[in-house]
Structure 1
Amino acid sequence: MTETPSTARMIDYWLGGRHHFPVDVAAAKAFEGAYGPCAVIFRSLRDFSGRMVTHLVTQGIQNFLVFGAGVPTQGNVHEVATGAHVLYTDIDPVTIALGQEILAGHGRAAYAFGDATDPDGIDPAAIATFLPGWGREPIGVVFLGLAAFLDDPTLARTLDQLYRAVPAGSMLAFDFDGEELAGHPAALAMMGEGFHMRDPAGFPALLGSWRLTADGIVPVARWRPDGDPADVPDAFYGGLALK
Structure 2
Amino acid sequence: MITDTDMYALSIITENRAGVLRDVATVMANYRANIQMIQQSIITSGPNTGKAYLYFEFEECGNHPDLIADLARVPSVVDVTIYPPFSRIFGSRVIIIGGGAQVAQVALGAVNEADRHNIRGERISVDTIPLVGEQNLALAVDAVARLPRASILVLAGSLMGGEVSRAVDRVRGAGIPVIALKMAGSVPEHADLVVTDPIQAGVFAVMHVSGKAVFDINRVRGREF
User: How would you bin the TM-score normalised by the shorter chain?
Assistant: under 0.3
| Alignment TM-score, normalising by the size of structure 1 | 0.25
| Alignment TM-score, normalising by the size of structure 2 | 0.26
Structure number having the greater strand percentage = 2
Structure 1 or 2, whichever has the larger Rg, is 2
